[in-house]
Amino acid sequence: MQETKNQPVDQKPAVPPAPDEKRQRALRLLEAALYVAGRPLDLNELGSVLNTRSKKKTQKLIKVLMQEYSARNTALEILELKDERYVMQLKADYTPLVKKLVNRPLLSSGPLKTLSYIAYRQPVSQKRVIEVRGQHAYGHVKLLRDMGLIAAERSGRSMALRTTDYFADYFGLTHDIAAMKRELKRIFGEAMQE
């Protein structure tokens, strides 16, 4: 047996992983990415985890993962959102049963009230938000923008505030503003009755 410079005599050359092993690893990477993100990810973000720029390949793999989750019939699901974004989340049936176990809310009471006001009145001027919520709302607006829950557009000397697609996805609301306001009115009405 002939010895090469970089390979000891007794060691066999490395065997490349089988195609099925490679595919399973890719599926697990996508699963891990969706789990740790805790937010919707687009095909570019998911592709970066797989070290590929091919949206087609990434989309094909994410669809396989979605089918696996559906077949498992577990409390988690992977959903496709608009603009080719995907999210792993708890199925709605389980949320009320386990919500008491959540350690800390996404937002404290003040910013949450400011966000609720913006969502219900959008598009609303920042000036109006400050008038209703007080001077501390400047900090709330900055926090909400940093979190990607609201967006601001220049409107004269003020800023017009509105919620983002991420807000709708995070809270399980529709992206249509009119329908979202109806949903919020129903939710707020139920909360007032409790």
Q: Does the pTM of the predicted model rise above 0.75?
A: no
Tokens of 34: 């969706």
User: Does a cis peptide bond (omega within 30 degrees of 0) precede residue 13?
Assistant: no
- Written as one letter, the residue type at 129 is V
Reference 85, options 146, 29, 33; nearest CA is 33
**pLDDT over threshold 90, residue 31:** yes
Separation of alpha carbons 89 and 94, rounded Å: 10
What pLDDT score does 33 carry?
92
Distance between CA atoms of 20 and 23, rounded to whole angstroms? 5
Which overall architecture, per CATH, does domain 19-96 show? Orthogonal Bundle (1.10)
> Where does the pLDDT of residue 127 fall: very low under 50, low under 70, confident under 90, or very high at 90 and above?
very high
Intervals of CATH 1.10.10.10 along the chain? 19-96, 109-193
Q: Which 3 state secondary structure label does DSSP give 82?
A: coil
Q: What is the DSSP letter of 100?
A: G
**Cα distances (Å, whole numbers) of residue 35 to 41, 79, 107, 110:** 10, 13, 20, 28
Q: Fold for 109-193, please state it.
A: Arc Repressor Mutant, subunit A (1.10.10)
Name the least confident of 6-10, 76-80, 124-128: 6-10
